[in-house]
Amino acid sequence: MMKIKILLTALLCSFIGFAQSVNDYKAVIVPLRYDFTKTDNQYRMATLSKSNLLKAGFEAFYTNEQLPEGYTDRCQVLYIDVIKDSAFLTTKLSVQFKDCFGQVVYTSEVGKSKEKDYELAYREALDNAFKSIYALHYKYSGKEVATSRTPVATKAAVATSAVTTVAATQVVSVTPSPDLKDPNLLYAQPTESGYQLIDKTPKVVMKLFKTSQNNVFIASKDNVQGSLILKEDGQWYFESYQNDKLVSEKIVVKF
């Protein structure tokens, strides 16, 4: 039993040794909408997120912004997500920084608010969550980000990585290898409900939601709802109804 504990401790330490720091990333990409919001920048969440990031010393860009030269490598930037915890009479938010593979690099402390007005509550809870991010004293290190290994910062991240790997493996098992030189290639980042597909700028182009079948996703693209389906020809297609007509669009994805 003692040998097993020592081995597990050693493995955990080795994982932590390979962990990336937020200081290793040049900038942060801010989505216009989070899972708990229904419209872009609802309750000014995108605006408040970017404002807090800038105050914390980060370079920050919205997903629909054209990135300046030097920021176009999707794996050299972080992607922010704000998570809402269910709580009675209390708003609880935490901030996550994810890498280009959707794996968590850092999670903030939980920010809380008892304000009854939604906009005031979200603002206070987000500001409180950012207190732990301010305490990081972010400063870009200039260190090259490792993209060929799994960055793990905490025990929770180890568990999350394992679940993500299983889910990704299930999809990859039914997905052909895409042409990496294709200018329309999209990269799949795991999310709690499925994936988000980003282009090379990087910009979120489509959101995927898991179904009971590995080769079918509920999909959302440019406010159009449809399905992403792996057909018999080994290609993914986004299918939706537009003006009462079925439209099928080929999508090149790397999971």
Among 105, 134, 163, residue at a domain's last position: 134
Q: Would the pLDDT of 12 be above 50?
A: no
CA distance 200 to 3: 46
Residue 194 lies in a domain: yes
State yes or no: pLDDT of 136 exceeds 70: yes
Asked whether residue 151 is domain-assigned, the answer is: no
Statement to judge: residues 29 and 85 lie in one domain: yes
Residues 6+ positions from 92 with CB-CB distance below 8 Å: 84, 85, 110, 111, 112, 125
- In this structure, the answer to whether residues 103 and 53 fall within a common structural domain is yes
Look at residue 69 and tell me if it is in a domain. Answer: yes
Mean pLDDT, the chain, whole residue set: 81
- Backbone conformation region of residue 28, classed left if phi is above 0, alpha if psi is from -120 to 50, else beta: beta
Cis peptide before 176 (omega within 30 of 0): no
The pLDDT of residue 125 is: 97
57 and 120: one domain? yes
Q: What is the radius of gyration, based on Cα positions, of the chain?
A: 19
Same domain, 247 and 190: yes
- End-to-end CA, the chain: 38
Q: What percentage of residues in the chain have a pLDDT greater than 70?
A: 80
Number of compact structural domains in the chain? 2
Strands annotated E in 73-221: 77-85, 91-98, 104-107, 111-113, 186-190, 194-198, 204-210, 216-221
Give the range of the structural domain holding residue 236, as residue numbers without chain letter: 174-254
Q: Is the pLDDT of residue 157 over 80?
A: no
Q: Is the pLDDT of residue 160 over 80?
A: no
54 and 108 share a domain?
yes
Identify whether 8 is part of a domain: no
- Whole-number pLDDT of residue 144: 75
Which of 134, 153, 185 corresponds to the end of one domain? 134
Residues 198, 126, single domain; the answer is no
Closest CA to 80 of 43, 128, 29: 29
The residue whose two tokens read 């080769």 is 215
Task: Report the SS3 class of residue 33.
Answer: coil
- What CA–CA distances, in Å, run from 253 to 83, 129, 186, 194, 240? 26, 34, 5, 14, 18
Provide the sign of the torsion angle of the four alpha carbons 83, 85, 90, 94, taken in this order: negative
Q: Are residues 123 and 198 in the same domain?
A: no
Domain match, 203 and 109 both: no
Query: At residue 247, does pLDDT exceed 60?
Result: yes
Helices (H) and strands (E) in the chain, counts: 4, 14
Q: How far apart are CA 156 and CA 168, in angstroms?
A: 18
Residue-wise pLDDT tens digits, 88-125? 889 999 999 998 888 899 999 999 999 999 999 999 99
Res. 146 pLDDT band, cuts 50 70 90: low
- Residue 1 lies inside a defined structural domain of this protein: no
pLDDT at 149 over 60: no
Residues 6+ apart with CB under 8 A from 19: 105, 151, 152, 153
Same domain assignment for residues 28 and 121: yes
Average pLDDT over residues 226-237: 89
Tens-place pLDDT, residues 171-198: 555 566 677 778 888 988 888 888 999 8
Residue 129 binned pLDDT confidence (cut-offs 50, 70, 90): very high
Query: Do 105 and 43 reside in the same domain of the chain?
Result: yes
pLDDT category at 28 given cuts 50, 70, 90 is very high
Evaluate whether residue 88 is within a structural domain.
yes
**Domain finish residue from 85, 110, 134:** 134
Structural domain includes residue 153: no
DSSP 201: S
Note whether residue 155 is domain-resident.
no
CB half-sphere exposure, 123, CA atoms < 13 A? 13
Q: Which residues contact 127 (CB under 8 A, 6 or more apart)?
A: 48, 52, 111
CATH of the domain at 84: 3.40.50
38 and 113 in a common domain: yes
User: Residue 36: what pLDDT?
Assistant: 92
Whether the pLDDT of residue 166 is over 60: the answer is: no
Instruction: Specify which of 21-30, 139-148, 226-235 reaches the highest per-range mean pLDDT.
Output: 21-30
Does 184 share its domain with 104?
Answer: no
Judge whether residue 151 has pLDDT over 50: no
